[in-house]
Every structure is written in structure tokens, then in C-alpha cells.
Chains A and B, each alone.
Chain A
Amino acid sequence: MSAPIIDIRDLSVGFTARAGHTQEVLKSVSVSVKAGETLGIVGESGSGKSTLALASMGYLKPGLHKLGGDVTFQGIDVFAQSLRQLEGLRGGKLGLIPQSSGQALTPTMRIGAQITEALSLHCALPSADCAPRAEELLTQVRLPDVPAIMKRYPHELSGGQQQRVAIAMALAGEPDALVLDEPTTGLDVTTQKQILDLVQDLAKERNMAMMLVSHDLGVIARCCDRVAVMYYGEIVLEGPTRDVLSNPGHPYAQQLIDAVPRIQKVTAKAKKTLPNTEEALRLEDVGICYHQPGFWEKTFGGAAPRELTVDGIDISLGKGQTIGLVGESGSGKSTILKAIAGLLPAQKGSIRVGGDTVLKPSIDRRRPEELRRVQMIFQNPDDSLNPRHTVAEILAQPLYLYFGMTGQKARDRAAEMLDTVRLTPAYLDRLPRQMSGGEKQRVAIARAFAAEPEIVLCDEITSALDVSVQASVLELLADLKAQKQTSYVFVGHDLAVVQQLSDQVMVLQNGRICEAGPVDQVYATPKSDYTKMLFDAVLEPGAA
């Protein structure tokens, strides 16, 4: 057995809380990674997994300090190093691949220049050799048309390409160990799969030790030899991935694994048939273009007709039913939601609610009563709730706007709405920052339902939430649907979640319908190659 590359022993990290006592973020954590091995660190937000990963590089977020224990990298105590020595280590023998590479890359530098800079900092290469070496690295991370990529700026690359560039930069220093902090969060499933394949191959080739932090058990199951489950700053379970996932000995780990939605196998017999209900929403041949005609074009005309970003969308959704929209990022899922909401006026086709009312494309032309019938819930509750408003004020807005309720009446109604999303009236005087992500999303749901809508548009509403929270939010949505006969248009990137909630599903590719039908039919017998590819890319714990 070789000695571990990264060895963390009894590491405790904390911050000094206001009252003068220390709050521990990591409690006496011990893990190690050997060469050629991949350790997965999994846990929900706030469990300390990122803190642990960054601490392995000798970095603590401002405000945190080490309370005890040691971190050694190849026998060097990283916390005993000077900043200068650490700088040599990081990005050299010890590489980091951050969560959103888009933000880690300097926006004003061309890709080639950034990699060359990393090379000149960490390898004693003569400057003439840097450019060819940079090209070599970019080829290794399987980027197409490397010379062209070298000349581009970060924003000209897709999320997956940016991640590849970040990997190439980490490889520039010929690292012996890589720390990956949620490397595929924010990427769609097919890109995620490609990135993980790439990282695994590189690790094998170079016999690197890897520490992979993720909240996604599917990712962990696919890549890791061993996994450590973190819960409130402690490692509650550690062991070979297969054992931990198939037979977790710890109740929290069990709960975490159970909460992961999985795609249900559909047998031909169990196929649900769509109940015939009244039509709630109908889209006919809807086409949307991101370019909206400006003042000039509206007045004088004459602009060349632009290609529609999304085209030929037909949806027919019954009362109390859900349609799931799936597809890779950029396939037009959210665009369709915005068109239904009127935020992005459709250029073509018609949108009808309740079988009779034709909605005007633009929100400015819709009557309040029409607006009330269609409500939207957004992806990230941190962003969709005004940080300066209390829950009571947030919920009062639709109540006032659509029903003219004010004062105590609105407050009572807001409390009722909180009750439907299973929060107590004690939340009324809370600000968004005083709530957890799941609680905030419940408030956002309550706000949408306060309008008593017929159609609720859900834009990836659980993707910012932890799996266990996601499960309870999905359950809540299903309950509300059954209670109020609301119809959902549900955009999701997680195929299992979409399956769980939907009656119909529509697969989108480049703004066109690729495949659509009852959910069981599409999941059991996908017809198009694109749909099959989407299903193939799904990672599930236990499937690997």
C-alpha cells in the first residue's frame, strides 16, 4: 500500500460566533486519498464538504480558522506552509477544479493566454514552449478546434467547454492530486457525463489522487472508489462506494440515498392512461424569438425576419395535469415558460387558457384576471424573493393585486397560504435570509398559489435544493395539484423528478419538439435517438 497523497487527520475548523464561543464547521474529520484513488465527499448544503475540500489545499474561507488536526499533502503539512509556498503547491502539484469555471476564468483574457499564464507560473517552461504545451493540454481535455478555442474569451464558450478549460488549467501544473468542488453542478446531464468520463480517464492516465465533492450521489457513484458521507461537519460514514450505497449503515446516509429520485421502470401493463379532463392550457404552433422588435423596427419595419429560437410548440394540457419539459440547456424549455407567462412575447401561434381565453402574447396587454390564472415559480428561491420583504409582505402582493386584500385580511389569508405549504404563521414576519432554501421555495410556492391560479409554471424549481428538501417540495406540489386541480408546466433537467410529477412529457432539442407523449410511453419506449441519449446520460446511485 502506498502512502496517502492527501491525509487529513482530526481536522477541526470553526468560526468565532458573536457571543464569543466557537462554532465548529468541521468536527475532527479524518480522511485520506491515495494515488490513483478517487474519494467522494457527499452531503447536503451546509454539511461542510466544500470546507473540507478547500482545507485539503490549506485554504479556509475568511472567518474560519483551524482549531486542531493536521492536513498533509505528500508528507508536507500544508497549514505550516507560508503563503508563497502554498501558492507554489496550489495549481502545481495540487489542482483545484471549482464549481463554476465560468467565474473562475478571467473574463478579459483569452483562453490561450490564461493557460499560458498558468504554465509559466507553475512549470519552468521557456515562454516559447508555453503555447504549444497549452494547445496540447486543451487537446487532452478533448476540446474541438483547439487553435480557435485558444483565441476565444471565456464567455464565448459553453459551460461544458469552460469546465474543460478549467481542467486543462489544473493539469498545467502536472498535479499529483486534484480537488473537484462540485465540478458538474450547473451542467446538463449529457455534458456532465462527458466531463466525468474525461476526469476519470485523466486520473487513470496520470495516477492522480482525486477528492470529489458533490451533493449528487449519482456523480459520486459513477466516479468514486470510496465515499465519505458528511453531516453537520462530521463524517458519519466512510467506505467503498458500492458498500455505502447498497448498504449504508447510518440512518442519515440511508435517508440521503432514499431521497434521490430514480427513474421508475415502466412495464407495459402499468402504463397510466391520461384521464380525459377539461383542457386547461393549449399552445398551438407557438414560435418565440429572443430578438424582440425594437422601436425602430416596429415603426418603420423592414428588419430581416429572424429565425425563431423556439418554434412549432403544441401543448395540450388537461386540468390537474402536469407536462414535463426536458432537454439540454439551451433547448428552449425556460423560453416556453416565459412565453406562456408573457414575459417573452411569442411571435407566432396562440396560447389559450381554460379552453376559451386567448392570452395576448405580451404581458402588458393581458388583463389582471388573465395574469392571475397563470403563475410562475422560479428556479432559485434566493433570487425570486425580495430580500427586503417579510413573508407577509411577499404573500400580500398577489393578494392585493388580484383580490384587493389589504391589512389584517391579507395577513390572515397569507397565514392560510403558509398553512397550505406546511409552514406555521410564525414565518409571516421572517425575512428570506432567515429561512432555509426549502422554506424559501415553499414561500415562493405559496405566493404562486395565493393567486389561485389554474396553471403554475415551474422552472427547475427543485434544482437549487438538497435532495431531501427536493423530495418534500415535490410531495407538496403533488398534494396541491390534487387538492386544487392546478395544472403544472414543469421544466426540469432531472429526468427522474420529471417522471415523478408529470403525466405528459415533451423532449426538446434546439427549440423544437423532439418527442412528446404520455410520460410512461416516452420513458418506456423512447423513439428518438436524442431522447435515448438523455436517458443514457442519467447517473443514478446503484446503477454504476
Chain B
Amino acid sequence: MTDAVTPNFPADRPSTLRRWGQVFRDLIRRPSGAIGVFLVALHVIVALISPWIVPYDFKTMDSAIILAPPTPEHWMGTDALGRDVLTRVLLGGREALWVCFLAIPLTMIWGGLVGVYLGLRGGWVDEVAMRLVDAFLALPGILPLMVFVFVFGAGNEVLIPTLAFFFGIPVIRVARGATHDVVARDYVLAARARGHSRASIMRRELLPNTLDVMMVEGAMRLSWMLLTFSSLSFLGFGVTPPIPDWGQMISEARVYMSLAPWGVLGPMIALSTLIIGVNLTADALAKTLGIDRTRKAVV
């Protein structure tokens, strides 16, 4: 038999960064991915530059133009305190994006590490931990968040860890499931047979191979978290007035909805385009990475 000694592929080991670069290029080639990334990018850019482009100050009230309809001066009209709606819509996503973009990595890191560990560990530790997870999941989503905010006060230093903590719990479950797929593979068995430590197996074998699932999960969780943040604001547990936030704006303006529908319309469109954008991106990412999201339990 002849021995094939020369490789017939070029040696192009893509670095992790280059691989994700390629994933991103493939992602925006999908229509859903392109639309999603466009919407998210638009929101991020607006959030970054809005303090310099807004036409009015977001706090300035003008009792002369309360609930005014759209005019050339106020494109989206004014709210019940006579503040410019457009200004507040443009600024209203900053807090949500800032909080969620910080909280999501925390969520994925803690939920992911715990889930991967439990998936590898198995046994009674896994059993007990998963029952605790189940217990947490049985709580209605937003209630414990409200309790935390109520006890520790609103503000980002409370909101970010609280959101990360509660959103990390379902992530444990997903990461554990993804790990079970990998743990059954022979390369993990081979690593165990060689005598690698659990930490080494997690770092070298499990985390790189669950990363794809976790990225998709992170994108999905982001859209949920944005929605949850807005819901908290809507209920008055999020952003402290007068800092504008979509959830809070919808809450304030819904009282006058029949009189001044522009008050709810602006923040609603802004919020929904952001959520849709994140969702489309997450879906396209799942398809690009070849992850069947219908198979994974989304809790």
C-alpha cells in the first residue's frame, strides 16, 4: 500500500477569530441574517451617537405643547409633559442596550460554565443542581427580578448582576444538554482514559465544542433580556426617570393612547425592530452554524 504522506489540503487552520469572521460573512449572506444584523447595527449606532444628534433636550418640558401631534418641529409629537418624543425614542434604547450587552456575557459565562461542569460531572451533584434549576424555572420570569430590584434598589449595578443571574439559570440547562452531546464522543473518553483533569477536559474538549450552541443561545437570550428589561421599565422597576427608556415611555404614554397614539407608537416600533433584529440574527446564526434550534429545549 502506498502511504499518503503529503496532505492534499492547504494547511489553513483558521484562528478562532477568523472562523467567527467567516461565520459572520456567511451570516449576512442569508436574507434573515442581513436584515437582523442591519437592524441591530442601526440601533447600536443610534444608541452610540444619539446624545449628539437629538434635536431637543430629553428633560425639557414645555407645557404649551402637551400631547401635540407630529409637526415639522416635533416629528413624532410630544408627550404628556411636552417633551419631544423623537428625542426620547432616539435615547430610549441606550440603557437597555448597555445593560443587556454587559449582562449577556456574564449570563453566558456563569450559566455556561456551570452547565458544562454539571454535564461532565453527572452523578448526584448534577441531580441536585438540576432540581434547583427546575425550582428556579418554576418561578414566573419577571417576579424574582422585581423582588431583587425592590430590595436592592434600581440602578445598573443591581440590574446587571440580577439579570445575569436569573438569565443564567436556563442557560445552565442548555449548556448541560450541549455538553451531553459532546461528552459521549470518543475524544472525551480518550481524554479521560489518558487521565486529564476535569478542568482540562472542560477547557480543551468541552468548551470549544459547545461554543457554537452557546453563541446562538446568547443571541436568543439577548432578545429575551431586552424585552425583560423593557418590561421592568414598563412596570417602573428599571430606569430611573427622567432618563428615557422605551418600556417606561410606553407605560407613561399608554394612558393617553387614544388621544396621542404617537406617544406609544415611537417606542413600540423602536423596541420591536430591535427585538426582531436580534431574533433574526440569532436564527440566522443558528442556521449558519448548523444548529437545529428546534431540538434544543428553549426554556
Contacts and interface: CB of A to CB of B under 8 A. Distances in A.
Contacts of A439: 4, 7
Contacts of B186: 378-380, 383-384
Interface in A293-346: 294-295, 341-343
Interface in A370-406: 371, 375-376, 378-380, 383-390, 397-398, 401
A397 B1 contact: no
Contacts, number: 89
Interface string B180-211: 00000111011111111000000011001100
A422 interface: yes
Interface residues of B, number: 26
Interface string B51-79: 00000000000000000000000000000
Contacts of B292: none
A424 B1 contact: no
Given A383-B187, A389-B204, A451 B3 contact: no
Interface size class of A (residues with CB under 8 A): 35 or more
B3 A371 contact: no
Contacts of B150: none
A390 B209 contact: no
Contact of B7 (A343, A368, A426): A426
A423 B11 contact: no
A446 B266 CA distance: 64
B123 interface: yes
Contacts of B194: 371, 375, 397-398, 401, 451
A463 to B, nearest CB: 13
B9 to A, nearest CB: 4
A429 B1 contact: no
A383 B187 CA distance: 6
Contacts of B192: 343, 363
Contacts of A386: 187, 204-205, 208-209
Contacts of A388: 208-209
A475 B1 contact: yes
B135 interface: no
Given A397-B204, A468-B1, A471-B1, A424 B6 contact: yes
Contacts of A371: 193-195
A274 interface: no
A386 B209 CA distance: 8
B29 to A, nearest CB: 13
A435 B10 CA distance: 11
B143 interface: no
Interface string B107-127: 000000000000000011000
Contact of B185 (A341, A383, A434): A383
A294 B208 CA distance: 30
Contact of A438 (B4, B7, B13): B4
Contact of A430 (B13, B205, B209): B13
Nearest to B209: A388
Interface string B1-23: 10111110101010000000000
Contacts of B1: 259, 468-469, 471-472, 475
B11 A430 contact: yes
A436 interface: yes
A429 B11 CA distance: 6
B277 to A, nearest CB: 29
Interface string A339-372: 0011100000000000000000001001010010
Interface of A: 259, 294-295, 341-343, 363, 366, 368, 371, 375-376, 378-380, 383-390, 397-398, 401, 422-424, 426-427, 429-431, 434-436, 438-439, 447, 451, 468-469, 471-472, 475
Question: Which 5 A-B residue pairings sit nearest by Cβ, starting from the closest?
Answer: A472-B1, A384-B186, A371-B195, A388-B208, A383-B186
